[in-house]
Structure 1
């Protein structure tokens, strides 16, 4: 089997020793080519070329941003709903060995968070020929794998990316501190979002909204954060729209999100699962993030679910 290993050497938890171990282990099983990314968007360029060259598998060693680039490089811009969303023809399967800070996509598929453990797991999965077909989602002419958001979480991601550019490492503690500061800085602002779903009345007065393609929504160290527990790679999208920035309501919601068997429920929350598509409108430009990458400010974004879009090397769905 011809395979390409795409390594992001700047990802948070990658090490030279770990990269060498992964490359040597895979080379014993596959006709492997190894390439390190050198600039933003490079992983997508490499994935697109690998598909053209006839590779059967792309292994990604990096974080969620690198995985997102690979998916978008393979599938290209999503097509309108009236057309075939996913390109016709063979598309390489994707395998992930975590190398970032959160690694939400890999962990949500049941891949070990530790890169060495994940390498051994990948070898076992390849030997057993384990594959899984998963659904994806898209918006703003770009695919995303596990979540997107408008408002609060996008502002947090923007601040984290600025900190990274300044040389500070992205850690769970930094995410929490940044989220708390951002919340209090914006808590007195009037809501700007409204959500439109097929066959339902519009949801007005929304402060921030998350759109999920999987669960968990993210992780804090080893603890999963579930916004839409019933959403998964075999369902439609999950919506989590909050109409309050009150401190006590937000503290109660935060405890629910982190609790085992979480089923978030407060009066100001609208939570809907298995939605085929939805549109979020903002009365003023507001931030958008996809898979933990800040995209920019938008006033209207349409989100759509595409079932059975991609093959991944992963354990069977639970």
Structure 2
């Protein structure tokens, strides 16, 4: 069995010793090649080359951002005709801080345990085909508005995306990491609280359009997910749309209130797996598409990566788009 291991050596929980250990473990059982990323976008370039060369399996050791890059390198862009070379199957060994995608598939968050799990899954030929979301966004037409979501338009996302306060949190965390501050659950929680309070002082900017429904105006933020949970806080999952899976359409969670008092009950529901329910909250599952319109340029994120500000963002979903090495659904 032949496979390519793509490693992001700068990922949060990736170390030289850990990388060598898991590569040695994999090499003992499969014909393995290893490539290290050196710059943003490099993982996608390596993945595209692997597909062109007919590699059957691509393994990613890195965080969710690296996995997203690899998937967009492996696949033709949304809306493009599928090319002649079949896309390799994707396997993930967690190496980031949250590792939402891997954990949502049932992959162990510990890299060495995940490596042993992967060898078992490969031996058992345990594969799944999953849906993917995609984004088309229009950047604000004004100078100095970089980075632009135009770079993210026509790209796939794996598990979640959002417009509003969650994207502001992602942007702030990236700024803090660039300043040398490590990512941690405590930092995410503190940043979320600060951004939530800041956003509560602003009027709502967003409108939400869903197929077959009237447009909903005066929305503060919108989460779009392709799976559940939406994210993790340490070991605890956060569920915005418990009924959304990789086997159906998108889930949508939107709020028209930033009141701490009104949202305390919602926060509790998100941590317990109960379907969120409140008069100021919109939730819907298995939707084919959702279009968001903003009165002012608003932050957008995909799979935990900040992609810039947009005035419109249209999200869609394609079923059975990617083959992954993962435990079966019943596991």
**Is the pair's TM-score, using the shorter chain for normalization, greater than 0.5?**
yes
Per-residue CA shift, 1:159-203, capped at 9, x if unaligned? 000011011111111000000000111102111111111111111
> What SS does structure 2 have at the residue aligned with 1:133?
strand
In 2, Cα distance between equivalents of 1:130 and 1:88? 25
Partner residue, 1:91: 87
In 2, Cα distance between equivalents of 1:281 and 1:92? 36
Partner residue, 1:197: 210
Contact 2:240 / 2:270 at 8 angstroms: preserved in 1?
yes
- Picking from 297, 305, 328, the partner of 1:293 is 305
> What SS does structure 1 have at the residue aligned with 2:211?
coil
Partner residue, 1:23: 23
> What SS does structure 2 have at the residue aligned with 1:231?
coil
- Bigger shift: residues 193-202 or 155-164: 193-202
Alignment of 1:107 onto 2:103: yes
Distance apart, 1:116 and its partner CA: 1.1
C-alpha spacing 1:287/1:87, structure 2 compared with 1 (3 Å): farther
Partner residue, 1:185: 198
In 2, Cα distance between equivalents of 1:317 and 1:91? 22
C-alpha spacing 1:189/1:302, structure 2 compared with 1 (3 Å): same
Q: Please list every run of at least 4 consecutive aligned residues from structure 1 whose deviation after the TM superposition is greater than 3 angstroms.
A: 86-89
Alignment of 1:174 onto 2:187: yes
Once the two structures are superposed, the pairs formed by residues 172-251 of structure 1 within 5 Å of their partners are: 172-251=185-264
In 1, Cα distance between equivalents of 2:66 and 2:8? 7
Once the two structures are superposed, the pairs formed by residues 47-86 of structure 1 within 5 Å of their partners are: 47-79=47-79, 84=81, 86=82
Partner residue, 2:292: 280
Number of aligned residues: 313
Contact 2:52 / 2:85 at 8 angstroms: preserved in 1?
no
Q: Which runs of 5+ in 1 are unaligned?
A: none
> What SS does structure 2 have at the residue aligned with 1:235?
coil
Distance apart, 1:77 and its partner CA: 2.3
Contact 2:220 / 2:257 at 8 angstroms: preserved in 1?
yes
> What SS does structure 2 have at the residue aligned with 1:298?
strand
Once the two structures are superposed, the pairs formed by residues 244-263 of structure 1 within 5 Å of their partners are: 244-259=257-272, 261-263=273-275
Contact 2:161 / 2:224 at 8 angstroms: preserved in 1?
yes
In 2, Cα distance between equivalents of 1:70 and 1:275? 26
Q: TM-score, normalised by structure 2?
A: 0.93
Alignment of 1:46 onto 2:59: no
Distance apart, 1:137 and its partner CA: 0.7
Q: Which runs of 5+ in 2 are unaligned?
A: 136-152
Per-residue CA shift, 1:199-253, capped at 9, x if unaligned? 1111111100000000000000000000000001000000001110011012221
Per-residue CA shift, 1:130-173, capped at 9, x if unaligned? 11111101002110000000000000000000011011111111
Partner residue, 1:317: 329
Partner residue, 2:143: none
CA RMSD in angstroms comes to 1.0
Partner residue, 1:121: 117
Distance apart, 1:87 and its partner CA: 4.2
C-alpha spacing 1:28/1:230, structure 2 compared with 1 (3 Å): same
Distance apart, 1:255 and its partner CA: 1.3
In 1, Cα distance between equivalents of 2:315 and 2:173? 24
C-alpha spacing 1:206/1:122, structure 2 compared with 1 (3 Å): same
Per-residue CA shift, 1:70-118, capped at 9, x if unaligned? 0011113211xxx64x545411000000000000000000000111110
> What SS does structure 2 have at the residue aligned with 1:44?
helix
Partner residue, 2:156: 143
In 2, Cα distance between equivalents of 1:64 and 1:131? 20
